[in-house]
Amino acid sequence: MYWTGAGFAYVNIRRLRGTTILMYHSVASSEFMHWIEPSVRQTPEVFETQMRFLSQNRCVLSLSQLLEELERGQTPNTGTVVVTFDDGYIDNMTVAAPILARYGIPAIWYLPTGMINRGENPWIDQIYTAFRTRSKAELSIQGIGSWDLRDSRQQFTAYNTLKEKLLVASFTERESILTNLIEELQPTETPPRLVLSWEEIRKVSQEFPGIEIGLHSQNHVDLSKQSQEVVRMELEQCIADFRRELGREPVHFSFPYNQHNAETRAIIREFGLRSAMGEGNETLIVAGADPFALPRVEPPSSSTLFRFYTSGAFPGLPKALLGRAA
């Protein structure tokens, strides 16, 4: 679709306009990549290739610039891109920030402040490490299941069952499951700290002015599955953390796992935030879009797919031709 020119023709015939928001997590160096779940990491080489392409072929805006245009009722041209990062990985500072600066690319980092406070690695990486370095072959988690991990199918089922459970768990439930998992598998290796510290975040704010800092809740739980009381508590605590550590008011938010509903969006507005990233019906951001449900695209490693995803033709053209995005 990209190399035949079909994407370009689709954008022009439909007279499409709008911005694509990219969602990154980790840009892991070889030193750290074996601690991080493959689904949430990109290699530095691929990331630099993508940033070079954006700098030469796309118009990259900061999130604040995009919101200013939308608030004026303006829709940016297709090929306009915003770069975002979730979860506060330390490699965002050591690897991604210098690359972003090299190509003049602005970005925003969304931080789960409780994890930053505790120096706690993302749960997805904790279970990845526990499975990868386990010394025990049998796993039994009360209320979830039992598996013989010597069987590859059972191992696959166990891993994905736990991921699905942890995606919707409360913070207390998640901590209990992780503790149980580590006790059961007895991993032989202890991972390094994978998330940023507040001192490092303050340093980034000083040295890389093109990087904005936003909120990603306090404990990275699915707010759409929590009570309003828990949602408010998560917001109150992460805003307090942000104010205390960075000395300013937060204005941007990212829903964990991009999950939200009308109630959680209303609470975000209630706390005076300006925007929120979250799952939406359309990928291209246009004037009139809900600033509290801004959808994002996970960048593919393939150079051709990356060019296509940021061209404005995705996901509209695949849906038109195939009835699905990919």
Task: Looking at the structure, tell me whether residues 149 and 44 fall in a common domain.
Answer: no
Within 10 A of 184 (CB to CB), how many other CB atoms are there? 16
Assess whether pLDDT exceeds 90 at residue 289: yes
Assess whether pLDDT exceeds 90 at residue 10: no
Beta-bridge partner residues of 19: 80, 285
CB 231 within 8 A of CB 264: yes
Higher per-residue confidence, 288 vs 1? 288
Going by C-beta distance under 8 Å and a sequence separation of 6 or more, which residues neighbour residue 312? Answer: 7, 11, 16, 17, 18, 20, 78, 79, 284
Banded model confidence at residue 5, pLDDT cuts 50, 70, 90: confident
Model confidence pLDDT, tens digit, residues 56-66: 999 999 999 99
Task: Looking at the structure, tell me whether residues 79 and 101 fall in a common domain.
Answer: yes
CB 81 within 8 A of CB 57: no
Beta-bridge partner residues of 163: none
> Is residue 190 one of the residues assigned to a domain?
no
Q: Measure the CA–CA gap between 250 and 13, rounded to whole angstroms.
A: 40
Task: Looking at the structure, tell me whether residues 175 and 281 fall in a common domain.
Answer: no
> Is residue 177 one of the residues assigned to a domain?
yes
> Among all chains, which residue has been given the structure tokens 């991993």?
187
Question: Among residues 165, 185, 205, which one ends one of the domains?
Answer: 185
Domain extent for 227: 6-118+195-322
Task: Looking at the structure, tell me whether residues 67 and 175 fall in a common domain.
Answer: no
Question: Of 49, 53, 83, which is closest to residue 66 (Cα–Cα)?
Answer: 83
Question: Among residues 185, 205, 229, which one ends one of the domains?
Answer: 185
Banded model confidence at residue 322, pLDDT cuts 50, 70, 90: confident
> Is residue 20 one of the residues assigned to a domain?
yes
Task: Looking at the structure, tell me whether residues 68 and 130 fall in a common domain.
Answer: no
> Is residue 312 one of the residues assigned to a domain?
yes
Q: What is the mean pLDDT of residues 199-222?
A: 97
pLDDT number for residue 315: 81
Task: Looking at the structure, tell me whether residues 23 and 172 fall in a common domain.
Answer: no
Task: Looking at the structure, tell me whether residues 93 and 128 fall in a common domain.
Answer: no
Task: Looking at the structure, tell me whether residues 210 and 133 fall in a common domain.
Answer: no
Q: What is the mean pLDDT of residues 232-236?
A: 97
Task: Looking at the structure, tell me whether residues 112 and 252 fall in a common domain.
Answer: yes
Q: What is the mean pLDDT of residues 267-285?
A: 92
> Is residue 35 one of the residues assigned to a domain?
yes
Assess whether pLDDT exceeds 80 at residue 152: yes
Banded model confidence at residue 325, pLDDT cuts 50, 70, 90: low
> Is residue 262 one of the residues assigned to a domain?
yes
Model confidence pLDDT, tens digit, residues 96-146: 999 999 999 999 999 999 999 999 999 999 999 999 999 999 999 999 999
Q: How many domains does the chain have?
A: 2
Banded model confidence at residue 241, pLDDT cuts 50, 70, 90: very high
Q: Measure the CA–CA gap between 149 and 86, rounded to whole angstroms.
A: 31
> Is residue 1 one of the residues assigned to a domain?
no
Angle at 59 between CA 317 and CA 44, to 5 degrees: 90
Task: Looking at the structure, tell me whether residues 207 and 280 fall in a common domain.
Answer: yes
Q: Specify the CATH number for the domain of residue 95.
A: 3.20.20.370
Average pLDDT of every residue of the chain: 95
Task: Looking at the structure, tell me whether residues 227 and 314 fall in a common domain.
Answer: yes
Assess whether pLDDT exceeds 80 at residue 323: no
Q: What is the mean pLDDT of residues 256-273?
A: 96
- Which helix (H) or strand (E) segment holds residue 254: the answer is strand 252-254
Task: Looking at the structure, tell me whether residues 212 and 151 fall in a common domain.
Answer: no
Question: Among residues 185, 207, 230, which one ends one of the domains?
Answer: 185
Question: Of 284, 245, 309, 265, which is closest to residue 88 (Cα–Cα)?
Answer: 245
Share of the chain above pLDDT 90, in %: 89
Model confidence pLDDT, tens digit, residues 69-96: 999 999 999 999 999 999 999 999 999 9
CB 206 within 8 A of CB 98: no
Banded model confidence at residue 326, pLDDT cuts 50, 70, 90: low
Spacing of C-alpha 207 from chain mean position: 23
